[in-house]
């Protein structure tokens, strides 16, 4: 089988990881990398033998051999870059956040449908082996009914100028929480603050409510002394913690819980606490980015719908949009249509 001909557009901090993966995967041929910044291209020249390096995106799109375009430009460029690729008849993998506007996401979905193109959004965590395991466990109700989920994605890191911490970090948390719960929130509320630049929130606290009493909280920041990438799930049977910064033992299951007794004499008997074992399931942790890239190639080859398709991207953009409106109204809850 001939390898799939790929072009990666935007090879900054993240795009170069995508370029490396597509260059290494046997099912792909990284035909082009494209970036406006010649310095970025020069820096990659030695690592990507056989790949053409160009600043000319139109040339990439005009090449009939290019089957798929991988977009890792800054978020404000996603819509235009994806639109041009879809109109040129290419399949598209675009980094998160899918777009900055709901209408733009809808337009791209329609374009992909009309042209029968694959459209995938880089919701990386949906491809993480620990998340795959958690979803299986939730499907089997190992944790029982999920009460609530909270996540922290904080560090002292790259400060963006063109998007706030919500749009930059929270797509990961929002996508994974919806992926695990299997539904979108009914309403969201977000509060945050701009310390470094006017109008760009450095820290955001987002709360989401779901039908059936489940709730989730997301804390994102690039202005924090800790580096934390942690997701905690509390079910009525068990609890789970996914710590992505652990080298190997990334998932811990706590056989802990609390139960209200119908038959009691004292308050201590009324609420029964259970402290059971803490287990760490063995999960072979392969690079999630490589799993994600393989999945895209598989979708291009077999024309199947990606796990994180345009609709999935749109659902996340709708939550981000509602959260942004709440941020502007100082945390007032916003109901999702």
Ligand X SMILES: NC(=O)c1ccc[n+]([C@@H]2O[C@H](COP(=O)([O-])OP(=O)(O)OC[C@H]3O[C@@H](n4cnc5c(N)ncnc54)[C@H](O)[C@@H]3O)[C@@H](O)[C@H]2O)c1
Residues that bind ligand X (CB under 6 A): 9-15, 34-37, 40, 57, 72-75, 77, 81, 95-96, 122, 124, 168
CA distance 216 to 232: 10
Task: State the nearest-atom distance from the C-beta of 82 to ligand X, in Å.
Answer: 11
For residue 244, give the nearest of 290, 204, 308, 287 by alpha carbon: 287
- Say if strands 4-9 and 68-71 run parallel, antiparallel, or are unpaired: parallel
Please, which residue, 61 or 181, has the CB nearer to ligand X? 61
Please, which residue, 22 or 57, has the CB nearer to ligand X? 57
| Beta carbons of 173 and 218 less than 8 angstroms apart | yes
Please, which residue, 36 or 45, has the CB nearer to ligand X? 36
Q: What are the tokens at 218?
A: 């997301």
Task: State the nearest-atom distance from the C-beta of 216 to ligand X, in Å.
Answer: 20
Please, which residue, 96 or 117, has the CB nearer to ligand X? 96
| Beta carbons of 7 and 69 less than 8 angstroms apart | yes
Task: State the nearest-atom distance from the C-beta of 239 to ligand X, in Å.
Answer: 26
Task: State the nearest-atom distance from the C-beta of 147 to ligand X, in Å.
Answer: 28
Q: What are the tokens at 185?
A: 């929130």
Task: State the nearest-atom distance from the C-beta of 35 to ligand X, in Å.
Answer: 4
Q: What are the tokens at 214?
A: 């489940």
Please, which residue, 55 or 226, has the CB nearer to ligand X? 55
- Owner of token pair 């109901």: 335
What DSSP designation does 332 have? Answer: -
- Say if strands 239-243 and 251-260 run parallel, antiparallel, or are unpaired: antiparallel
Q: Closest CB to ligand X belongs to which residue?
A: 12
């Amino acid at each position: 089988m001939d390898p799939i001909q790929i072009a990666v557009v935007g090879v900054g901090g993240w795009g170069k990881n995508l370029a490396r993966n597509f260059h290494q995967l046997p099912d792909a041929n990284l035909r082009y990398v494209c970036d406006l910044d010649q310095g970025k291209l020069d820096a990659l020249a030695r690592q990507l033998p056989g790949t053409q390096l160009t600043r000319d995106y139109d040339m990439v799109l005009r090449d009939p051999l290019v089957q798929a375009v991988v977009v890792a430009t800054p978020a404000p460029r996603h819509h235009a870059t994806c639109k041009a690729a879809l109109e040129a008849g290419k399949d598209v993998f675009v980094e998160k956040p899918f777009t900055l506007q709901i209408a733009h996401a809808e337009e791209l979905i329609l374009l992909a449908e009309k042209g029968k193109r694959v459209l995938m959004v880089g919701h990386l965590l949906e491809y993480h082996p620990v998340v795959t395991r958690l979803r299986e466990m939730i499907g089997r109700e190992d944790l029982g009914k999920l009460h609530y989920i909270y996540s922290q994605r904080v560090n002292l890191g790259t400060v963006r100028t063109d998007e706030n911490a919500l749009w930059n970090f929270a797509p990961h948390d929002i996508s994974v929480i919806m992926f695990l719960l299997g539904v979108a929130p009914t309403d969201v509320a977000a509060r945050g603050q701009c310390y470094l630049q006017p109008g760009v929130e450095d820290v955001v606290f987002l709360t989401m409510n779901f039908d059936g009493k489940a709730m989730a909280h997301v804390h994102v920041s690039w202005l924090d002394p800790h580096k934390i990438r942690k997701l905690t799930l509390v079910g009525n049977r068990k609890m789970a913690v996914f710590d992505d910064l652990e080298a190997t033992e990334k998932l811990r299951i706590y056989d802990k819980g609390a139960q209200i007794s119908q038959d009691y004499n004292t308050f201590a008997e009324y609420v029964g606490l259970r402290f059971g074992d803490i287990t760490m399931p063995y999960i072979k942790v392969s690079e999630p980015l490589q799993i994600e890239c393989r999945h895209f190639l598989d979708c291009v080859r077999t024309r199947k719908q990606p796990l994180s398709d345009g609709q999935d991207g749109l659902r996340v953009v709708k939550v981000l949009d509602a959260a942004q409106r709440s941020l502007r109204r100082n945390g007032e809850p916003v109901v999702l249509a």
